[in-house]
Structure 1
Amino acid sequence: MSIKSINVRNQFRGVIKEIIDGPVLSEVDVQTASGIVTSVITTRSVRELGLKPGSEVIAFVKSTEVSIATL
């Protein structure tokens, strides 16, 4: 699959800052120019993609709902 075939408009280039491995799911923190984006993906996917701190990645964000709260 090429990146061109992904229909997600919100894309953030960044570098993996930290990966917290779990037995099934892992938390991946990506440092972007706008701040940190965190993704929870399967630990198997982390291994198959060869993700590690320092890897350059693109975080794709697709959501059907965005919640907003007052300050």
Structure 2
Amino acid sequence: MKISARNQFTGTVLAVTPGAVNGAVKVDIGGGNVVTTSITEEAIAELGLAAGDRVTVFVKASDVLIGK
């Protein structure tokens, strides 16, 4: 599989929290870093995501904003 996203992190799923349409997936990518993403419940089911799974997180964004 070829992907254009250059920021790729392997990690372990810590938790999958279901929602009405989208669920939250927390992935430990090492070094004390956890990435949380919101994806559709359909995608969670198709991937069969569960705590303990080894996955790759792909990050591709045109903007990343932080406010305080």
Alignment of 1:27-66 (within 5 A): 27-34=24-31, 35-66=33-64
Instruction: Quote how far apart the aligned CAs of 1:67 are.
Output: 2.5
Alignment partner, residue 18 of structure 1: 15
Distance 2:22 2:54 in 1: 21
TM-score, scaled relative to structure 1? 0.86
Matches of 1:69 and 1:49, distance apart in 2: 33
Separation (CA, whole Å) in 2 of partners of 1:25 and 1:66: 21
Query: Within 1, Cα distance between the matches of 2:58 and 2:30?
Result: 14
Alignment gaps of 5+ in structure 1: none
Q: Which piece of structure 1 moves more, 61-70 or 34-43? A: 61-70
State the Cα distance separating 1:68 from its structure 2 match. Answer: 4.6
1:20 aligned partner, one-letter code: T
Partner Cα distance (2:34, 2:65) in 1? 18
Would you identify which runs of 4 or more consecutive aligned residues in structure 1 move more than 6 Å?
Answer: none
Aligned Cα root-mean-square deviation (Å):
1.4
Offset, 1:23: 2.0
Bigger Rg over Cα = 1
Q: TM-score, normalised by structure 2?
A: 0.89
> Which residues of structure 2 form unaligned runs of 5+?
none
